[in-house]
Copies of this chain bind each other. A is one copy, B any other.
Amino acid sequence: MENFKVTPWEVTGKIDYDKLIREFGTQKIDTQLKHRLTKACGGKLHPMLSRDFFFSHRDLNLILNDYEKGKGFFLYTGRKPSKGMHIGHLVSMIMTKWFQEKFKTNVYIEITDDEGFLHRKDDMWGDIQSAAHDNILDIIAIGFDPDRTFIFKDSEYIGNLYPLLLRAARKITGSTVKAVFGFNDSTNIGLSMYPAYQTIPTFFEKKRCLIPCGIDQDNYWRIQRDIAESMGYYKTAAIHSAFIPPLQGIDGKMSSSGAKEATIFLTDDEKTVKNKINKYAFSGGRATLEEHKKLGGNPNIDISFQWMKILFEPDDKKLTQIEHEYRVGKILSGEMKALLIERLNGFLALHRKQRAVAEKNIDKFMYNGKLAKEMWSKRYE
């Protein structure tokens, strides 16, 4: 990995995803597996799968075995509370929701308010809780099934699983979390303990767990896979996505800690979206109008096109047409941006609408929906 770097806390450079698969020892989601998944889901694959944005996996084949045998599986995703979710944060959530819809599975969403608090030096507990509330609304807005989804805050559910947490923690050494999370002796002991909690939802059912996540998170789940079987559970399965590139260019990963202009936040209004895309979205177009019309643009490095390909233009035909017309110079740079702006603003308008009604469903997801109620009656050891 000379020209790029992918760790849970750093993603830089031009990423060679095939090389990542080899280095991490994961599997490619190949044509055969996609066929199997298509058959199992009884419909069309989500574009993020059919277009290979989710490109790598661990044990997805075993998940399909279990599903075909009627044993089923369940899904797990999570969120470290912090204000300002951006569209990159939605990728795993949207993928998770798609699996839930197609396979009618339970979804567990861990809100790691403990991690969020431990990561910061000075933030008050109340700040973290308010961010958590904010994030939960955004998550609910994605459209999960309230009776098959349990959203829980670590701080609230700890009493129901502490003995199981200890059982996992007992199997993880300081060396391991130093290596996997980049911790050192100056790391506070709460943060060093936290990785154990992250494994726990994979043990919520005696079925196999599937985690949709960015490939940079794979490391975390190796800890779970190291300890799961000796605890009497399955190693978790995972599917791994590439990264939504920042507006400024195709390399790296969109991040909320980077420049605000590189990112579209869920709270950005129509005008802000328009301005950001027009001003910052890297274009694959030519230097002059004449040149562009003559030689055509390059969609492979055009951020507006790439974002549509990843998330905002589900229609394969339309996407292919846009790609073609860009390549031959029929669609201009500004027009490509306009296409993204329209779709992105449409997406955000719907999100805002769904978020506005999410508040009244919080209790279902967290406390009294079918799955939530069941979970609050359980105690894990």
Contact = CB atoms under 8 A, between A and B. Distances in A.
Interface of A: 114, 117-118, 121, 125, 154-156, 158-160, 162-163, 165-167, 169-178, 183-193, 195-196, 381
A268 B162 CA distance: 35
Contacts of A381: 125
Nearest to A176: B189
A107 B162 CA distance: 25
B193 A185 contact: no
B169 A185 contact: no
Nearest to A184: B174
Given A125-B381, A155-B162, A174-B183, A118 B188 contact: no
Contacts of A196: 189-190
Given A158-B158, A158-B159, A162-B155, A192 B174 contact: yes
Contact of A166 (B117, B175, B184, B186): B117
A185 B173 contact: yes
A167 B114 contact: no
A189 B192 contact: yes
6 residue pairs, one from A and one from B, having the closest CB atoms = A159-B159, A169-B190, A193-B193, A175-B185, A174-B185, A189-B193
Given A163-B155, A166-B117, A174 B190 contact: no
B173 A188 contact: yes
Q: How many subunits of this chain does the assembly comprise?
A: 2
A183 B174 CA distance: 10
Given A172-B190, A174-B192, A192-B193, 7 more contacts: A117-B163, A117-B166, A155-B162, A170-B188, A173-B186, A174-B184, A189-B196
A229 B220 CA distance: 35
Contacts of A171: 188
B195 A189 contact: yes
Contacts of A163: 117, 125, 155
A118 B190 contact: no
B166 A189 contact: no
A188 B192 CA distance: 10
A364 B195 CA distance: 37
A154 B158 CA distance: 12
A232 to B, nearest CB: 12
Contacts of A192: 174, 189, 192-193
A114 B169 CA distance: 11
B186 A169 contact: no
Contact of A158 (B162, B173, B175, B185): B162
B185 A178 contact: yes
30 contacts: A117-B166, A117-B167, A117-B170, A118-B166, A118-B170, A125-B163, A125-B381, A154-B162, A158-B158, A158-B162, A159-B159, A159-B160, A166-B190, A169-B189, A169-B190, A169-B191, A170-B190, A172-B188, A172-B189, A173-B185, A173-B187, A173-B188, A174-B184, A174-B185, A174-B186, A175-B186, A177-B189, A178-B185, A189-B193, A193-B193
A111 to B, nearest CB: 13
A196 B194 CA distance: 13
Given A163-B155, A189-B195, A193-B192, A169 B125 contact: no
A235 B190 CA distance: 21
Contacts of A158: 158-159, 162
Contacts of A162: 114, 154-155, 158-159
B189 A190 contact: no
A156 B166 CA distance: 13
Contacts of A169: 118, 188-191, 193
